[in-house]
Structure 1
């Protein structure tokens, strides 16, 4: 059941990333065309680019967390030979990441509450800034879920319920 949901979510996530990236490329092309070829700068394009740009960045971070391809420096692991020792180190790292992600969820939730309360709007187009700010909360919640899954995986390796790290 969970694998089916995860598969559908991955499909949605991949398409959201593709759409956001294409939207960024199209908007940039339009901006360059109008600004440098037609000498008619469209100021609202830069403001509009923020929406797919932020969502692309945040959803890309979620995708990296899901695939466990986020940036990490596993230099200390060189000194360990046993899989269980490496898994313990990775479990500690995942536990710390889970804590940090939980803290970021708390702060991004406060930012969302504030954004909805104040009802900030963009300067030129006047769209609600909560469209952008809610991406942080959504992204951190999703990253938290995948970080907890990573933590459970490494704990299972440490406890012997799973043989390999990957």
Structure 2
């Protein structure tokens, strides 16, 4: 679990700061673009592609932070329907295991997309920023989300063990 503590520290300091800067750049880009076009009558070429790159990274960094906090959107109706804590933990464990498989596929696909972008050598039209810069955000998010899902799976297994141990002790 030391690895996750280090990742948490890095995410809080580095990823959070980068996400904040990316969010500010997106807002500033929109303000500058709209002001230039609407008020000044000037078309600023390339602002949209800079905004797009910042938005992609902002969104993927947000996904990493949501994974860290286990704060993704969930349709978790099981605790409403079922009152047995063990069943709830088992369902959460199964959902986490399925999520790990899907995140692993996401890692594979985003890696293939990045490799394809590297091989093609495409870039944005105005500033010639390599397309792989944006696509690297997908792979980065997929890797971190997978790592945090593994952490969540370990937590779920430990919660189930703890629940079963408490149940065994209560029966004695």
Q: 1:25 — aligned with what?
A: 27
1:44 is aligned to 2:46: yes
SS at match of 2:122: coil
TM-score (norm 1): 0.92
1:159 correspondence with 2:161 = yes
Matched, 1:91 2:97: no
Query: In structure 2, which of residues 130, 133, 146 is the aligned counterpart of residue 131 of structure 1?
Result: 133
Deviation at 1:127, TM superposition (A): 1.0
1:100 maps to which residue? 102
Output the CA distance in 1 between the equivalents of 2:164 and 2:107: 30
| Partner Cα distance (1:17, 1:162) in 2 | 40
Q: Give 1:79 deviation, angstroms.
A: 2.1
C-alpha distance in structure 2 between counterparts of 1:5 and 1:97, whole Å: 20
1:78 and 2:80 equivalent?
Answer: yes
Cross-structure match for 1:148: 150
How many residues in Structure 1 have an aligned counterpart in Structure 2? Answer: 163
Cα distance in structure 2, aligned partners of 1:58 and 1:111: 15
- After superposition, the CA RMSD in angstroms is 1.6
Contact 1:156 1:162 in 2 (8 A): no
Separation in 2 of the partners of 1:38 and 1:18? Answer: 28
Return structure 1 stretches of 4+ with deviation > 4 angstroms.
none
- Following TM superposition, by how much is the alpha carbon of 1:43 offset from its aligned partner in structure 2, in angstroms? 2.5
The equivalent position to 2:114 in structure 1, one of 112, 115, 127, is: 112
Q: Which consecutive residues of structure 1, in runs of 5 or more, have no partner in the other structure?
A: none
With the length of structure 2 as denominator, give the TM-score of the two structures: 0.89
For residues 103 and 23 of structure 2, the distance between their equivalents in structure 1, rounded to whole angstroms, comes to 25
- In structure 2, runs of 5+ residues without a counterpart are 166-172
